[in-house]
Structure 1
């Protein structure tokens, strides 16, 4: 064979290889039967569970998206945006993701910086977050312990209490009704937070208690700090870094913070009727009060997205860092973050990612988390507003559940009482054709 022809064949094979990877890892659409699942079984059971949830006021409406073998094989919306039944839920609706933000905003940034050697999992977090350097109960805590919720940090601090007087009035030194110099962080319509209020939040968090007993204790405290940390390391604002590094390349056009400011044609699903701070139905602005006090951009909450955009980032994770032919993280980094870190302490968590309960496959649906059938390699996260995302590399399955269960009030617990999210997830594992 002539050398030139041989070289051309090699180049062609390389291009074909790249194309094949792209074709395999980018989401397309198909029917459940195309991936060996029973369509009738799926639609009957999912419809039944969702009807049960809506009738029992677990949520006014919701949607489910499932991808298997890189194919979206189910995407259906149910119910209405609110209980007045005025506007039906649409497939392109944008949701407040709540704590799902942790693994779709804060975590990809942290993973990238670990991948690049700019953060170390087993170095003291105080090496990067300097205020902890001289705090006795925090100076030796590692990023690994913190991300696995093994550090003993305080679970949550209600910073909203700091902006109210004893008589219930808002302190004008922290919150203004109109934007002005030093008050440009918008929490809601007519609510602008002092730009330096984040420093007060950090000081309180820096002085917070740490448990001497090192066992699993969920804490979102440092997720409030990660945006500032990412900015210090990369030199870019947190939201800008995420857009440039992840969301735009992924084609996740709706994923981001402050959707109210972006003129989306998509409808934004409302959350709670807030009688304390915002004094009305919250729509288009983050539900979580701590994220709101940071101007809506945080690592603990504040991200919004559609189901299809969420599916893209979860598909990328499930492919161990690759989507549409582009690599975002090394395979080793993704596998490290998505594995259980402290099983000997009965801690199911990965690094930032949630994992199935230990021994989950031996449990009944009512006791399991999430569905008993998910593999031990699977991972994801839930959100307070009624969101849930999960990826299973062994089964090549991505599961997205989006709802606004906090409408009209966060006291609504039906989504937990009826175990809606896990029950629907289980359907797709039981739908395999014989």
Structure 2
């Protein structure tokens, strides 16, 4: 009888605790892992939030900004909103699912090479303020690059060229591939698979490095976004650590963080998750790009790069952004020092009208004075917040001041990259703003 009462009491306790968990925010220890919660737990008007988010996202779908999207919000380490909308393509056959895998495009920059660079700074193997040529030797012979620092590079203050179209070097005038660079079948010298039937010469990366090394540098030191060195960083990370870049990221970050599908080359990994397609490529692959990196430069590096190439789910992204938000700590494990996180996520050259952190994007300077149509991202975000956007329609943002992580995933380049309605409609900041306003309203109505 006594055992029966103990069991009965235990059931009542468990049910009661579960009810409390659904209606009360779960206060987590510093550095904890993400937990599931709800809008109701924060006394938010969930009906209004769902209605407003649905309105913005479905309007985007109707206006062909993207065929489908996902929105995830984490507050104080609790995932309080995660919804999927629309379909993979406009034929409305494959609905978007919460565990779909997306091509993250330039979000790769802050989730690929940047964590490694921060860790190497922690370990004293890289310094922000000595010439980058100290580590990347070819720049020692380049007069316009020999004194550029890693800080200037990561803050986009170095005057480097924004982008180089390396694909053009592989094509003949008739649009066909030059066989000395690309073959239709693999062999020992052509083993870097860029897509089905496209194999890049193994040493083509060296040609890309040479072109970057010889590229022009502006004499004027002002903010100019450049992704060129992010093509170099993986090789540099491999040289310093003695471990291939992809393996280093997997063993030092993605696997211990518990990121189940995060990484490069998802088509080779037999995931059960669906991979959302990107563009119907009429220039390079001449088919629908799906499961292989969309960015041509990353593709020519075999899909493993620092400028693009990472794929993952919204849950995966929330984990690593939460780690950043918690100053390098996640699930009681230290990945990056608090000092280094804070240095990388602060504005570096505000007096030069440069909003950027080190690798991380930041809000516009004086962003809180702008209306939503002119702000980046939402005007309500904290000045200490940071994140990055991706060309394919992805966006990640962490806000330490409000303890909030925002993930927006879409394939806005489907069917073509010419589609810019996601920007014209200002969809990503507008969705983000809904949650800041909801928390403000809840605070004002507290007894």
TM-score normalised by L of structure 1: 0.95
| 2:119 aligned counterpart, secondary structure | helix
Partner of 1:263: 270
Tell me, yes or no, if the aligned pair for 1:271 and 1:282 is still in contact at 8 Å.
yes
Partner of 1:5: none
Tell me, yes or no, if the aligned pair for 2:30 and 2:326 is still in contact at 8 Å.
no
Give ranges in structure 2 of 5+ residues lacking alignment: 1-26
| 1:81 aligned counterpart, secondary structure | coil
Distance 1:33 1:219 in 2: 43
Which of 359, 366, 371 is equivalent to 2:378?
371
Distance 2:350 2:280 in 1: 40
Distance 2:56 2:28 in 1: 36
State how many pairs are aligned: 415
Tell me, yes or no, if the aligned pair for 2:113 and 2:234 is still in contact at 8 Å.
yes
CA shift digits 1:89-126 (9 cap, x unpaired): 00000000000000000100111101110000001000
Distance 1:269 1:401 in 2: 14
Partner of 1:381: 388
TM-score normalised by L of structure 2: 0.92
Give ranges in structure 1 of 5+ residues lacking alignment: 1-19
Tell me, yes or no, if the aligned pair for 1:32 and 1:39 is still in contact at 8 Å.
yes
Alignment partner of 1:81 is 2:109: no
Tell me, yes or no, if the aligned pair for 1:100 and 1:301 is still in contact at 8 Å.
yes
Partner of 1:202: 209
Q: Say what the alpha-carbon RMSD is for the aligned residues.
A: 1.0
Tell me, yes or no, if the aligned pair for 1:370 and 1:422 is still in contact at 8 Å.
yes
Partner of 1:62: 69
Pairs within 5 Å for 1:88-103:
88-103=95-110
Which of 235, 238, 241 is equivalent to 1:231?
238
Pairs within 5 Å for 1:207-222:
207-222=214-229
Distance 2:397 2:350 in 1: 20
Distance 1:327 1:21, change over 3 A: farther
Alignment partner of 1:33 is 2:40: yes
Partner of 2:154: 147
| 2:71 aligned counterpart, secondary structure | strand
- C-alpha deviation, 1:21, in angstroms: 6.8
Which of 324, 327, 331 is equivalent to 1:317?
324
Which of 249, 273, 276 is equivalent to 2:283?
276
Which of 410, 429, 433 is equivalent to 1:422?
429
Moved over 3 A (4+): 20-24
Distance 2:260 2:40 in 1: 30
CA shift digits 1:7-54 (9 cap, x unpaired): xxxxxxxxxxxxx97676210111112134321221111010011100
Partner of 1:46: 53
Distance 1:342 1:201, change over 3 A: same
Tell me, yes or no, if the aligned pair for 1:21 and 1:325 is still in contact at 8 Å.
no
| 1:431 aligned counterpart, secondary structure | helix
- C-alpha deviation, 1:180, in angstroms: 0.2
